[in-house]
Amino acid sequence: MEINKNLLKVSAATALAVTALVAQNTTVKADDASQSSSNPTTSQSTSSDAQSQSDQAAQTSQTSQDTTQVVSNKVIKKVRINYVPGYGINIWNTYKTGRKFTKVRAQHNTVWKVYQMVTYKGHKWYRVGTGKWIMAKYTKKYTQKGKKQASSTAAAVVTLLRAQLGKKYVWGATGPNSFDCSGLTSYVYSKAAGINITRTTYTQVNQGKRVSMSNLEPGDLLFWGSASAPYHVGIYIGGGQYIHAASPSQGVIQQSLSSYFYPSVAKRIL
Catalytic residues: 181, 232, 244
User: Measured at the alpha carbon of residue 242, what is the angle toward residues 238 and 244, in degrees to the nearest 5?
Assistant: 150
**CA distances to 52, 66, 220, 255 from 251, in Å:** 75, 55, 20, 12
Q: Is 87 in contact with 107 (CB distance < 8 Å)?
A: yes
CA distances from 43 to 37, 51, 192, 266 (A): 11, 12, 76, 74
Q: What are phi and psi of 158, to 5 degrees?
A: -65, -40
Pairing of strands 168-169, 178-179: parallel
Cβ atoms within 10 Å, residue 1: 5
Distance in angstroms (rounded) separating the CA atoms of residues 86 and 186:
10
Strand ranges for 116-205 from DSSP E: 116-120, 123-129, 132-135, 139-141, 168-169, 178-179
